Amino acid sequence: MRTVALDARLTRQMSVGMQAYVRELVTRMPRRAGDLRFIVYGNEPIPGLADTVEFRSLGRAAAVNGGLGEQFSLPRTLGSSDADLIHHMSVYAPRAASYPHVYTIHDLIHLRFPQYFSWKIPPYYRFVVGPVARSARCVITDARATVADLSEYLRVPSERARVVPLGVDEAFSLDESERMACAADAAQRFGLDRPYFVYAGNHRPHKNIATLVEAWRMTNGGCDLVLTEEGPFGFSLDVGPKRNGRILPTGRISQEELVALYAGCAAAVQPSLYEGFGLGALEAMAAGAPAIVARTPALVELTGGAALTFEPLDAHELARHLDAMLADPSLWPKLRGSGRARARDFSWDRTAELTTQVYRETLAC
């Protein structure tokens, strides 16, 4: 039996989606790959691990992203294991990865929009991410749209990239009666008595929330705009208020609250200038939310014709979509149905199965 070691560190530098990816795969893959033995290296316990999985705890120094421990202590620890293959499950990895490894890179947003991130990011990608990617047996990424970026920015040959889409948590999948109950809960919990649109995600500049707010202010009908997560927006929400609507910043919310907001919204909007996949849009469609997404490669690939699309910086085009949803609620069931059908093509079990297929392919070489 061949052994795969999983670098399953969970750190504050990792987004919610990156952490979900790690947790979902380390708990699901061992149950779907009886021909493989798994060792999980982590800095915190991960609930739900199969009894057959060996968990090895990492010290704090080895777990910190970008630190000396990651670059010197971690590769010694991983290299001394009896694993035949090591999977670095996030972009944070030791450059001195001389052992056989596969590497997950969800996206290259930091290289596409370096002006939006810390000055430390480009050197990390140049001196760490690039060498780890080029020495990997293969690089796993979420969407076909990112394969070209791997080649352009990191010089990873396209034939060494493997596209493995992400999944959607079963908690987001609602039937119509569940959706209606959750919608009523959202209305009561957040005081929503008008149609509303929702954006769920962080507030980094490439998320393009300013265009969404501008478009919302152009709408004719009465409606609210719900914006989740904490952190500054980079612009004032009070400039040019809308007469028949309000902006509701919720701060950080629970998964249950997010599902409820999706269930009751007129549409979930993902206005990003760039996404590596678009997990939020997938979760929204699974919950029965009509989806409106920016016309960028990964989002168009993900939604597969089940969402309305707009040019990312065209607030007028987005506003026309918002007005159409307000003026004709008969559009909602149609988009809900197409979104749910599309979301059913994605699951974490499928992500786990495709990932283990990558391991088998790599181990056979």
Residue 288, classed as helix, strand or coil, is coil
Q: Which CATH number fits domain 170-343: 3.80.10.10, 3.30.930.10, 2.40.50.140, 3.40.50.2000?
A: 3.40.50.2000
The C-alpha angle with vertex 161 and arms to 165 and 147, in degrees rounded to 5, equals 75
Sign of the CA dihedral 304, 278, 142, 34? negative
pLDDT exceeds 80 at position 239: no
Q: Which CATH number fits domain 2-167+347-364: 3.40.50.2000, 3.40.30.10, 2.60.40.1120, 3.40.50.2020?
A: 3.40.50.2000
267-270 and 85-88 as β-strands: parallel, antiparallel, unpaired? unpaired
Amino acid at site 322? L
pLDDT exceeds 80 at position 313: yes
Domain ranges of the chain: 2-167+347-364, 170-343
pLDDT at position 173, please?
A: 95
SS (H, E, C) 39-99: EEEECCCCCCCCCCCEEEECCHHHHCCCCHHHHHHHHHHHHCCCCCEEEECCCCCCCCCCC
Cβ-based neighbour number of residue 333 at 10 Å: 12
How would residue 365 be classed by pLDDT, with cut points 50, 70 and 90?
A: confident
Task: Check for a shared fold between 2-167+347-364 and 170-343.
Answer: yes
pLDDT digits (tens, 9 = 90+) for 9-51: 999 888 888 999 999 999 999 999 999 999 999 999 999 999 9
- Residue 289's nearest CA partner among 207, 188, 197, 193 is 197
Lowest mean pLDDT among 74-83, 130-139, 228-237: 228-237
How would residue 348 be classed by pLDDT, with cut points 50, 70 and 90?
A: very high
- Residue 3's nearest CA partner among 87, 91, 117 is 87
> Which residues neighbour 342 within 8 Å (Cβ) at sequence distance 6 or greater?
285, 303, 304, 305, 306
pLDDT at position 60, please?
A: 87
How would residue 265 be classed by pLDDT, with cut points 50, 70 and 90?
A: very high
Q: What is the pTM of this model?
A: 0.92
What gap in Å lies between CA 39 and CA 26, rounded to an integer?
Answer: 9
Across the chain, what does the average pLDDT equal? Answer: 95
What gap in Å lies between CA 40 and CA 25, rounded to an integer?
Answer: 11
User: How distant, in Å, are the alpha carbons of 49, 162, 276, 279, 363 from that of 141?
Assistant: 24, 6, 8, 13, 19
- Residue 106's nearest CA partner among 21, 43, 25, 169 is 21
pLDDT exceeds 90 at position 353: yes
> Which residues neighbour 159 within 8 Å (Cβ) at sequence distance 6 or greater?
none
